[in-house]
Amino acid sequence: MKTIAEIIKGAADWEPPVIPEDITHGDMPGDKVEINQNHIQKANVIFRELLPMLTETSEKAENGKVVLTVCGGSGVGKSEIASLLSFYLTQAGIGSYTLSGDNYPHRIPVYNDAERLQVFRESAIRGMVKENTLNAEHFQIIHQFQEQGDDANACHVKEYPWYESYLRNGREGLKGYLGSCREIGFEEIEEIVRQFKNGADKIWLRRMGRTETELWYEDVDFSQTQVLIIEWTHGNSDYYKGVDIPILLNSTPQETLAHRRARNRDGATDSPFTMMVLELEQAMLEKQAKKAKIIISKSGELLSYEDYCRQMDAGR
């Protein structure tokens, strides 16, 4: 098998291939990938930038293996662009596999959503107790908002100034849970990365559906795989090691919200609690952005870290 460097040297004048209607995508059960021209444009820009990085990284690696991650916020096109990058690599003769990090939370989605809400509410109440802002009257008001699913709404502070204590403490507790080892099995992904870089021919990979019985493992053949792509919001997290090339797909909070509203997949798409989760995830992505080797804007422009910071500041 040719090395990555040898293959890329022979494809110095790379041109994007024709994209078939159905290409291989990540390993998340039930994941739907809908590729449009915007995704293709971004993937083309990223891939040209990626090729020399792959050469340099693979030549330094003991077994020539490279791990890259495609990360970003909700609706930014991680699955689609990771699928395109994998397709381009395969077409060039470089074996690749796309792993979805969404297979590795400790709980199935419905239970994890419930845990997030429980962490928020418990942290909020405990914080109020410590600050002496909780009493029977306040709890009755809070309980009513909880039953309405509206207790994360900052508008309540206008009528009840003490409600700021509930929101601030709840938000802080949720911040400590989201994207942490309490929520996600980072150690399992790090072990997969370790095995891959050590040249394992087969690796057991986790599969997680949406019900209690949809959790299993598959023995995946990596004997011809030279690049592992991790497609995941938390792909650039500090909680695990081994990623060589983090790729950040950026979108401002306003762009993310507009995208979610356009999709309108469920009635709570832009609920106050969902928006709090998205804002905290965005803050995590911003904190990790300095490690990214490639950053691309929602409009498809390559950004330096300084450009990224300016864009995010302007979009607030």
pLDDT at 264 over 60: no
Cβ(53)–Cβ(226) under 8 Å? no
Cβ(67)–Cβ(244) under 8 Å? yes
Total Cβ atoms within 10 A of residue 216: 11
Q: Report which of 310, 277, 287, 264 is spatially closest to residue 71, judged by C-alpha positions.
A: 287
Q: What is the pLDDT of residues 169-185, one digit of tens each?
A: 999 999 999 999 999 99
Domains and their CATH numbers in the chain: 4-104+190-314 (3.40.50.300), 109-177 (no CATH)
Q: What is the pLDDT of residues 107-129, one digit of tens each?
A: 999 999 999 999 999 999 999 99
pLDDT at 69 over 90: yes
Q: What is the pLDDT of residues 296-315, one digit of tens each?
A: 998 899 999 999 999 888 87
Cβ(81)–Cβ(23) under 8 Å? no
Mean pLDDT, rounded, for 190-196: 98
Query: What is the Cα–Cα distance from 125 to 166, expressed in whole angstroms?
Result: 6
Percent of the chain with pLDDT over 90: 78
Q: Report which of 167, 160, 179 is spatially closest to residue 123, judged by C-alpha positions.
A: 167
pLDDT of residue 266: 44
Mean pLDDT, rounded, for 164-173: 98
pLDDT at 262 over 80: no
Percent of the chain with pLDDT over 70: 93
pLDDT at 146 over 50: yes
pTM of whole model > 0.85? yes
pLDDT band for 265, please (50, 70, 90 cuts).
very low
Residues 6 or more apart whose Cβ sits within 8 Å of residue 140: none
pLDDT of residue 308: 94
